[in-house]
Amino acid sequence: MWRTPVSRITEPKAGPAKDRAADRTTERTQPLPQPAEVRRSPVVVIGHTGLLGQAVMRVAGERGLRTLGVSRNTVPGLNLARQSDLAPFLDPLAPSLVINAAAITDLAANEADPSAALEVHARLPGLLADWGRRRGTPWVQVSTDHYWHDIENTLHAESAPVSPPNTYARTKLAGEEAALRDPGCLVLRTNIVGFRGRAGEPTFVEWALSALAGGEPFDAYTDVWASSIEVHQFARAMFDIVGLGATGLLNLASRESVSKADFIAALARAGGYDERLARRVSRPPRQRPRRANALGLDVSRAEVLLGRELPDAGEVIDAILASPAMPKATVRMDLDLGADLEPTARIEGGPDVELA
Ligand SMILES: NC(=O)c1ccc[n+]([C@@H]2O[C@H](COP(=O)([O-])OP(=O)(O)OC[C@H]3O[C@@H](n4cnc5c(N)ncnc54)[C@H](OP(=O)(O)O)[C@@H]3O)[C@@H](O)[C@H]2O)c1
């Protein structure tokens, strides 16, 4: 077990990847574009088009909060991982809160371009930490649970030593450490599930429902465990915890860690699918990139702060089934989710297509 010192991985490696990183981070020569309508004191959600970002925007709306979402294409030319962009963009907005839900969640993409991973996962939170310290603005760094490999299902406390197995995990860990340089930052480790609705890139739940609806047997891993929480459940608990003024590193997830096989079986039963389609198997021995399998998080600290229990796996599945994006029972048997979500070849890749 080891922790990656930030200094070890904040500089990109030599070679073409370094050149690409340099291109992305050089000083800008053009004036920074601003959103058409700059409204003061919004909740700024970085990564608002993603699985979590969409839910955060929705829950913020439910609570009457003004939001401003930022992703890669929101403002032409804007790159918040560039020092010359971040403060000039955020300062005029005077956000009341910043939530950083941006990430590259495809493990293979992280291996293919480690400097891009470093930029989004470590440099961006590092710049946010500098900005947050200067402004005194609260902000949230959403992190991961992709840190442990074990033969058994374990609930890891915030203090548990970590062992990041791949570029995604190493750069996310560097991001945690960079974020925590700002004592006003809240770093949340989690595992999220839900609907993103992005064609060709299904989330774990979208993939599982598509596979169940497909009617063909598929593999469901018995030795990959996670404390998955439905994205809106996460977003609501996150706003509650932010409202309590919490800072530092905190696990925020389901109170129960279950295997992917058990999760899919429970989803199938609750959703009216044939659970026998999910073959209960061990994960392949030599997956590339290497990946964590024992992702369970101990959420007792968050529960004490919140004064309530976080959802168990059954309540997470209930929330998935209650989602407006959940395919309706009457159309489910005719559903060809795969056509919209994922080519067959990638569905065959296994139940952990939810990569991060
Ligand atoms: N999904 C999981 O299973 C999981 C598990 C544990 C932790 N997490 C963490 O949860 C958070 C949210 O993940 P997610 O599943 O919602 O991810 P996601 O669906 O892949 O969305 C990622 C978001 O980040 C944005 N983004 C990527 N690069 C960016 C950049 N350079 N600048 C600004 N925005 C950028 C994307 O924008 P575009 O629209 O431009 O692509 C998108 O909005 C991340 O911190 C992730 O590490 C996820």
Any atom of ligand 1 within 6 Å of the Cβ of 251: no
Of all protein residues, the one whose alpha carbon is nearest to atom 30 of ligand 1 is 72
Q: Which atom of ligand 1 is nearest to the CA of 52?
A: 16
For the chain, 356 residues long, the average pLDDT of each consecutive 10-residue run is 27 32 43 52 97 98 96 91 96 97 97 98 98 98 98 98 98 98 98 97 97 97 98 98 98 98 98 97 93 98 98 98 84 42 30 39
| Per-residue pLDDT at 337 | 41
pTM for this entry: 0.86
In a domain, 7, yes or no: no
CATH of the domain at 93: 3.40.50.720
Any atom of ligand 1 within 6 Å of the Cβ of 105: yes
CB of 37 closer than 8 Å to CB of 93: no
In a domain, 30, yes or no: no
Q: How far is the CA of 21 from the centre of ligand 1 (A)?
A: 19
In a domain, 304, yes or no: yes
Q: How far is the CA of 28 from the centre of ligand 1 (A)?
A: 24
| Per-residue pLDDT at 196 | 97
In a domain, 50, yes or no: yes
Dihedral sign computed on CA atoms, order 151, 155, 160, 165: positive
Any atom of ligand 1 within 6 Å of the Cβ of 97: no
Any atom of ligand 1 within 6 Å of the Cβ of 192: yes
In a domain, 6, yes or no: no
Residues 6+ apart with CB under 8 A from 213: 273, 327, 332, 333, 335, 336, 337
Any atom of ligand 1 within 6 Å of the Cβ of 191: yes
In a domain, 32, yes or no: no
How many structural domains are present in the chain? Answer: 1
Of all protein residues, the one whose alpha carbon is nearest to atom 7 of ligand 1 is 144
Of all protein residues, the one whose alpha carbon is nearest to atom 46 of ligand 1 is 103
In a domain, 136, yes or no: yes
Q: How far is the CA of 105 from the centre of ligand 1 (A)?
A: 6
| Per-residue pLDDT at 31 | 53
Can you give the residue range of the structural domain that contains 224? 16-24+38-347
